[in-house]
């Protein structure tokens, strides 16, 4: 742990008991206040009850005094000579039961003396109340004396209750002041204890600070030294940030803008053209013969050539234009505010400058050309990708037309449109592979005529792409040309073989070999040229357990003769693993039949265009017959494609063709359904046997 960390830990340990002590004092103070509050509440509640009782007793006395006064008025208001009848005389005095009951429960001796006085007086009043003698002065005098004694006793009694009331009130004041004093003293003690704890904590923390005074001074010295390096560090960080920012937008080899920055600036140009309704242009440059220099002289020579050509290009673009290396030997230029005529002129100047440049390397002098595609950035709704695709398509056509030339994109250019369609299809194919929209179909391959041994049907596996909505399915004719041009056929071939093998084994794993159909799968020239394809294929055959003789690979004639030695090597290796082979579209290449002897073939598929036109072209009949005869002489089974009518079926039967494939039997079906037709007694088999 660092010194600062240790110091912080010790300070924390020193402050922890202080904080705990203050928390305990605070809790004690709160608890004391609550206790005093509850005590005061109970005391004042008791005083209030006593005061209410005294007030109630005093009220009883006052009520009886008023009743006695009213009786005296009635008793002494009669004239002395009044005559009374029987039972008439002085009225009865008020009832004194409640008053006597009130005094009987009081143990005070003085109150008991007053009780006796009241009883004697009340007895005298009651004795004189029934006297009916008129004008009896003695009776009147007795009543008066009794009344005076009662009034005097009641007055004393009222004063006694008043004295009690004041005494109880004074007692409440004493209780209040006593509680207030006790509360003040308790709070003062708590505060004194807290002050003592704070003083002790301060002394302890000061001791910790003194113990770490040397470390603090050393820490300050280090901080001061670090302050001296902070400016240097910030300068290094700023410099590194600028370098990273530069690297994010520039090509490391040439120092030009990279593709990311080029596309960002193209977006700005598009936005400007849309807003200001102006026209700009984009150039797409691809060096010619660069691969020759790279392969002949090495990659160091290629990198140096790219650096030198970058300086050449910089000299022929205008100030404010964007020049970028897009990757490899491809460059891009954005010409802001430049129409197609000006852009073409600039492109021609750049082409001449690159063509006339001579590159010297280790005693040799080399030259390269450049194919340039030009596309306009119009104030329409074109996207960045569409603008680049247009320029790229024009550059591709410039290469196809002989290289080292400038080609301007035009909407009416059929070749460019074809190129754009192919680019769109490449994106569709890649998207279909990612979104699992590739589907396998199958078309039965049917024996041309029934045989006693009951030959089974076979099936050719076909690839389809389903559109994102799921309604339309595209055939291979739509996307295979683009896939072949842009190098996607190897991925498609492997996908088809992987899924078709899995479906085939799941369907026919328990079927006898003589009743099991053969699955035909097309293989492209790209897969045949891949040196890893043989090993990959052998591994997949073992993994899925494809039975020997269950898979037949179809190779086109043109693909076979383009790399004959490699094809024969691949076929021989796989043939040992039980894979069969068929030569597809035979006759389309118009080559010699001699090479058939060196290939391990089992089937020969006759070019469908010959079969389709047999019913009205005798030359095609002769071609089909010749191919069929050669195949039989070499021990091969022949298959006629594009058999689409009953007439063609009868013609190929008459020529002795072994198998037929076409719409006369069935159109391509989902692979599971096509496999089912290869083993069931359905319309295909019934048609053959009819």
Q: What is the 3-state secondary structure (H, E, C) of 39-59?
A: HHHHHHHHHHHHHHHHHHHHH
Q: What is the structure's pLDDT at 431?
A: 83
Angle between helices 299-315 and 340-356 (to 10 degrees): 140
Angstrom CA distances, 68 to 65, 74, 147, stand at 5, 10, 8
483 close to 426: Cβ distance less than 8 angstroms: yes
Q: What is the structure's pLDDT at 451?
A: 63
Spatial separation of the C-alpha atoms in residues 621 and 607, rounded to whole Å: 12
Whether 294 is covered by a domain: the verdict is: yes
Spatial separation of the C-alpha atoms in residues 293 and 367, rounded to whole Å: 9
Q: What is the structure's pLDDT at 639?
A: 94
Residues 434 and 513 in one domain: yes
Residues 439 and 396 in one domain: no
Measured from the Cβ of residue 245, the count of other Cβ atoms closer than 10 Å reads: 10
Which residue has 């803008």 as its token pair? 257
Whether 223 is covered by a domain: the verdict is: no
Instruction: Select from 176, 207, 238 the last residue of a domain.
Output: 207
**Percent of the chain residues topping a pLDDT of 70:** 78
**Least-confidence region, from 19-23, 319-323, 386-390:** 19-23
Q: State pLDDT tens for residues 569-610.
A: 899 999 999 999 999 888 765 455 667 778 899 999 998 888
What's the domain count of the chain?
3
Q: What is the structure's pLDDT at 85?
A: 43
Asked if residue 467 has pLDDT above 50, the reply is yes
What CATH number has the domain bearing residue 309?
3.30.70.270
Higher pLDDT, 506 or 57: 506
Q: What is the structure's pLDDT at 263?
A: 92
Residues 371 and 453 in one domain: no
The encoded tokens of residue 59 equal: 């009220």
Closest CA to 669 of 443, 507, 439: 443
Instruction: Select from 207, 237, 271 the last residue of a domain.
Output: 207
Spatial separation of the C-alpha atoms in residues 86 and 78, rounded to whole Å: 16
- 519-523/473-474 β-pairing: unpaired
Whether 494 is covered by a domain: the verdict is: yes
What CATH number has the domain bearing residue 674?
3.20.20.450
Residues 399 and 505 in one domain: no
Q: What is the structure's pLDDT at 589?
A: 54
**Reported confidence tier of residue 341, pLDDT bands at 50, 70, 90:** very high
pTM recorded for the entire structure: 0.48
Question: DSSP states of 362-383 as a string?
Answer: TTEEE--EEEEEEEEE-SSS--
Residues 584 and 652 in one domain: yes
Residues 14 and 153 in one domain: yes
Q: What is the structure's pLDDT at 690?
A: 34
- Give the mean pLDDT of the chain: 80
Instruction: Select from 411, 441, 473 the last residue of a domain.
Output: 411
For 592-595, the CB contacts below 8 A with 24+ separation are 593/630, 595/560, 595/561, 595/564
Higher pLDDT, 648 or 158: 648
Residues 16 and 50 in one domain: yes
Whether 201 is covered by a domain: the verdict is: yes
Whether 466 is covered by a domain: the verdict is: yes
Whether 217 is covered by a domain: the verdict is: no
Q: What is the structure's pLDDT at 596?
A: 74
Rg for the chain, CA atoms, rounded: 60
Whether 243 is covered by a domain: the verdict is: no
Q: Which domain holds residue 452?
A: 424-689
Residues 261 and 331 in one domain: yes
Which residue has 């290629």 as its token pair? 302
Q: State pLDDT tens for residues 133-142.
A: 545 677 677 7
Whether 571 is covered by a domain: the verdict is: yes
Q: What is the structure's pLDDT at 473?
A: 85
Residues 6+ apart with CB under 8 A from 218: 3
Strands (E), 625-666: 637-640, 659-660
Residues 407 and 465 in one domain: no
**Reported confidence tier of residue 153, pLDDT bands at 50, 70, 90:** confident
Residues 135 and 284 in one domain: no
Residues 488 and 537 in one domain: yes
């Amino acid at each position: 742990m660092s010194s600062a960390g240790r110091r912080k830990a010790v300070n924390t340990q020193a402050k922890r008991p202080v904080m705990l002590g203050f928390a305990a004092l605070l809790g004690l103070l709160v608890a004391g206040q609550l206790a005093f509050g509850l005590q005061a509440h109970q005391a004042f509640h008791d005083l209030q009850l006593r005061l209410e009782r005294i007030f109630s007793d005093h009220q009883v006395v006052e009520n009886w005094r008023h009743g006695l006064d009213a009786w005296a008025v009635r008793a002494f208001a009669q004239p002395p000579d009044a005559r009374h009848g029987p039972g008439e005389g002085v009225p009865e005095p008020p009832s004194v039961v409640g008053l006597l009951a009130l005094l009987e429960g009081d143990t005070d001796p003085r109150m008991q003396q007053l009780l006796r006085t009241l009883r004697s007086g009340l007895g005298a009043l009651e004795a004189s109340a029934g006297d009916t003698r008129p004008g009896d002065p003695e009776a009147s005098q007795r009543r008066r004396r009794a009344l005076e004694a009662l009034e005097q006793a009641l007055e004393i009694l009222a004063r006694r209750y008043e004295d009690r009331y004041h005494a109880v009130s004074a007692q409440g004041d004493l209780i209040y002041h006593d509680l207030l004093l006790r509360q003040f003293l308790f709070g003062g003690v708590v505060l004194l204890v807290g002050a003592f704890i704070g003083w002790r904590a301060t002394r302890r923390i000061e001791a910790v600070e003194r113990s770490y005074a040397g470390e603090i001074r050393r820490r300050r010295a280090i901080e001061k030294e670090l302050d001296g390096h902070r400016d240097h560090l910030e300068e290094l960080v700023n410099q590194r940030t600028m370098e990273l920012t530069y690297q994010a937008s520039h090509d490391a080899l040439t120092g030009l803008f990279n593709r990311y920055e080029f596309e960002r600036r193209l977006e700005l140009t598009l936005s400007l053209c849309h807003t200001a309704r102006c026209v700009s242009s984009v150039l797409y440059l691809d060096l010619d013969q660069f691969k020759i220099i790279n392969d002949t002289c090495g990659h160091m020579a290629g990198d140096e050539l790219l650096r030198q050509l970058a300086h050449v290009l910089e000299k022929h673009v205008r100030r404010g234009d964007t020049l970028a290396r897009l990757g490899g030997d491809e460059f891009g230029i954005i010409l802001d505010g430049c129409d197609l005529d000006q852009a073409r002129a600039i492109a021609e100047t750049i082409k001449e400058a690159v063509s006339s440049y001579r590159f010297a390397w280790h005693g040799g002098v080399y030259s390269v050309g450049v194919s340039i595609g030009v596309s306009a950035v119009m104030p329409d709704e074109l996207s960045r990708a569409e603008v680049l695709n247009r320029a790229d398509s024009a550059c591709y056509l410039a290469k196809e037309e002989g290289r080292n030339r400038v080609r301007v994109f035009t909407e009416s250019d059929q070749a460019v449109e074809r190129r754009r369609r192919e680019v769109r299809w490449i994106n569709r194919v890649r998207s279909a592979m990612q979104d699992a929209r590739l589907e396998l179909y199958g078309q039965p391959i049917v024996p041309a005529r029934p045989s006693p041994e009951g030959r089974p049907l076979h099936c050719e596996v076909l690839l389809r792409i389903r559109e994102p909505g799921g309604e339309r399915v595209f055939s291979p004719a739509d996307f295979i040309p683009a896939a072949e041009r842009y190098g996607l056929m190897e991925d498609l071939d492997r996908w088809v073989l992987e899924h078709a093998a899995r479906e085939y084994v799941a369907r026919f794993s328990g079927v006898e070999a003589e009743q099991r159909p053969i699955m035909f799968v097309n293989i492209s020239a790209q897969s045949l040229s891949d040196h890893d394809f043989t090993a990959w294929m052998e591994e997949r055959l073992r993994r899925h357990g494809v039975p020997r003789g269950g898979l037949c690979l179809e190779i086109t004639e043109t693909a076979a003769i383009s790399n004959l030695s490699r094809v024969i090597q691949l076929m021989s290796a796989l043939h040992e693993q039980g894979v069969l082979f068929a030569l597809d579209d035979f006759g389309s290449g118009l080559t010699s039949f001699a090479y058939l002897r060196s290939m391990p073939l089992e089937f020969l598929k006759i070019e469908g265009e010959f079969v389709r036109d047999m019913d009205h072209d005798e030359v095609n009949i002769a071609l089909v017959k010749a191919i069929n005869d050669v195949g039989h002489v070499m021990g091969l089974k022949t298959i006629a494609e594009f058999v689409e009518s009953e007439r063609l079926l009868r013609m190929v039967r008459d020529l002795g063709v072994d198998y037929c494939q076409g719409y006369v039997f069935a159109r391509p079906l989902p692979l599971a359904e096509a496999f089912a037709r290869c083993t069931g007694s359905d319309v295909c088999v019934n048609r053959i046997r009819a």
